[in-house]
Amino acid sequence: MMCGLEIHVQLETESKLFCECKTNYKEAPANTNICPICLNQPGAKPYPTNEKAIKNALMISLMLNCKIEQNQAYFMRKHYDYPDLSSGYQRTSIPIGYEGELNGIRIREIHMEEDPGQYKPDRGTVDFNRSGIPLIEIVTEPDIKSPEEARNFLKELIRVLQYSKGARGEGTMRADVNVSINGGNRVEMKNINSIKGAFKALKFEVVRQKNLTKRGIEIKQETRAYLETQMITVSMRDKENADDYRFIPDPDLPPMQISDKQINDIIEIMPETPYNKAKRFEKQYGIDKESAKVLTSEIDLADTYENVVKEISPEFAALWMKDELKRVLTYNKIDLVESEITSQDLIELFNLLENKKITTKAGQRIIEKMPNEEKTPKVLAEELGLIGVVEEDGIVKAAKQAIDENPKAVEDYNNGQKNSINFLMGQVMRLTRGKADPGETVKILNDLLK
Ligand SMILES: [Zn+2]
């Protein structure tokens, strides 16, 4: 399989690319964030290109290791007829960044575009609030060899975009996926709007092309639509050529000049990429590769970790944040920001654990209660009666009692049913009200049973 991606994402700006209309198109009533410029009414001239949009596009290009077109990054008019495009052309820049790389996949180019409006064919209405919102299109070389690789690349790309704070992330993503097998004709799938969608569309399309090839049918070069609900692709139209778009330079916009200073200023404030951050975490905090990867999977998680390790041992914090915190967030289907769990909360909890004021088991119970909870971990621990750890003597005593009271479990254990120790362990936990350390308890039970 050979696959290349064209990924559109909206840039994070207050106003549109060539006018002062706001970009909060989702909240605003239909056709209220509009003006003669973004409706392309006759005689309306664009303002100079939004500087924030240029800056964001440059930063993303640099974070994706691209070279920058400094001398004549101009806008072209790309012509096509569709109800979402009032002018009949879309302004699209020549590549601003080119020859980049991410995850071993080469990036051919990154250019800026204006978003068209939103046409709803079933109702026959168009909402132009979105018209003129700045986009970037990121185009890869056809280096992707499997649906899994496409998924990994997109995940990493979304992470970089989040880190850059210059783009709006997966929620605004639209990807076109080009795929061919065994050097056959290339099929383009349009308007896939999630990582999962891209993965499933590719899986389907590869099977479809393989089946056609097996039956000796040549694969047609065409554009297909991916139908999310049915998880299939259907033919849309035969592929148009670049000629069909009748590209011409936009005479209303001067070419953008990008100075060395502009680039250096961006490099100065550019966030570390997730990849580099993970590398640094491994080295600086002495944690393993897997932990570093998980902890840098969200910028907020990474920032929080760096706050926490000012007071907590890095390995201990990594273990708890990677396993327990992540588990709780995944279970609740929220990210760290939505959970309202702060660095301070985690420091308080980890202090209780590190100073053996509570057991691991108690810590797990507390962290489960922490999302969107106003009480601090310490207050939670007190309210739940979890403060205090039973010392070894206490565990031995409870273990002996559990063994005495449950001869059947002991017999099962002696007959080779080793997992009956879990039952005895539950009894010890009950007797110590969850304040015995599980690791120690298992050891003591094993010794006593022997
Ligand atoms: Zn406008």
- Compute, in angstroms, the gap from residue 133 CA to the centroid of ligand 1: 9
Helix (H) or strand (E) holding 412: helix 407-414
Is pLDDT of 241 > 70?
Answer: no
- CA dist 328 and 164 (Å) reads 26
Residue linked to tokens 């057991």: 359
- Compute, in angstroms, the gap from residue 29 CA to the centroid of ligand 1: 15
User: Sign (positive/negative) of CA torsion 144, 162, 204, 222?
Assistant: negative
Asked if residue 335 and residue 292 are part of one domain, the reply reads yes
pLDDT in tens, 256-281: 899 999 999 999 999 888 888 999 99
- Compute, in angstroms, the gap from residue 53 CA to the centroid of ligand 1: 15
Asked if residue 282 and residue 250 are part of one domain, the reply reads no
Residue 217 lies in a domain: no
- CA dist 173 and 227 (Å) reads 16
Residue 286: how many CB atoms within 10 A of its CB? 11
Residues with Cβ within 8 Å of residue 124, at least 6 apart in sequence: none
- CA dist 218 and 239 (Å) reads 15
Amino acid at 387: I
pLDDT over 90 percentage in the chain: 67
Residue linked to tokens 């996926």: 177
- Compute, in angstroms, the gap from residue 38 CA to the centroid of ligand 1: 4
pLDDT in tens, 353-406: 998 888 888 899 999 999 999 999 999 998 888 887 777 788 888 899 999 999
Asked if residue 404 and residue 291 are part of one domain, the reply reads no
The last residue of a domain, from among 363, 383, 403: 383
Residue 210 lies in a domain: no
Amino acid at 257: Q
Structural domain range at position 44 = 2-180+239-266
- CA dist 161 and 156 (Å) reads 9
- Compute, in angstroms, the gap from residue 130 CA to the centroid of ligand 1: 10
Q: What is the CATH number of the domain that holds 419?
A: 1.10.10.410
Asked if residue 280 and residue 149 are part of one domain, the reply reads no
Residue 180: how many CB atoms within 10 A of its CB? 19
- Compute, in angstroms, the gap from residue 254 CA to the centroid of ligand 1: 19
Task: Give the C-alpha distances (Å, rounded to integers) separating 200 from 204, 228, 430.
Answer: 6, 9, 47
Q: How many residues does the chain have?
A: 450
- Compute, in angstroms, the gap from residue 48 CA to the centroid of ligand 1: 13
- Compute, in angstroms, the gap from residue 85 CA to the centroid of ligand 1: 14
Asked if residue 300 and residue 173 are part of one domain, the reply reads no
pLDDT in tens, 101-123: 998 999 999 999 999 999 988 89
pLDDT in tens, 123-166: 999 999 999 999 999 999 999 999 999 999 999 999 999 999 99
Q: Residue 326 has which token pair?
A: 């992540």
Q: Are strands 75-79 and 248-249 parallel, antiparallel or unpaired?
A: antiparallel
Asked if residue 427 and residue 321 are part of one domain, the reply reads no
- CA dist 47 and 253 (Å) reads 8
- Compute, in angstroms, the gap from residue 18 CA to the centroid of ligand 1: 7
- Compute, in angstroms, the gap from residue 158 CA to the centroid of ligand 1: 28
Asked if residue 328 and residue 400 are part of one domain, the reply reads no
- Compute, in angstroms, the gap from residue 40 CA to the centroid of ligand 1: 9
Asked if residue 260 and residue 280 are part of one domain, the reply reads no
- Compute, in angstroms, the gap from residue 34 CA to the centroid of ligand 1: 4
The last residue of a domain, from among 359, 383, 407: 383
Average pLDDT, the chain: 91
- Give the closest residue to 360 by CA, choosing from 381, 329, 382, 345: 381
- Compute, in angstroms, the gap from residue 15 CA to the centroid of ligand 1: 8
- Compute, in angstroms, the gap from residue 49 CA to the centroid of ligand 1: 13
Residues with Cβ within 8 Å of residue 74, at least 6 apart in sequence: 93, 94, 249, 250, 253, 254, 255, 256
- Compute, in angstroms, the gap from residue 35 CA to the centroid of ligand 1: 4
Burial class (CB in 10 A: 0-12, 13-18, 19+), 322: buried
Residue 374: CA count within 13 A, CB half-sphere:
0
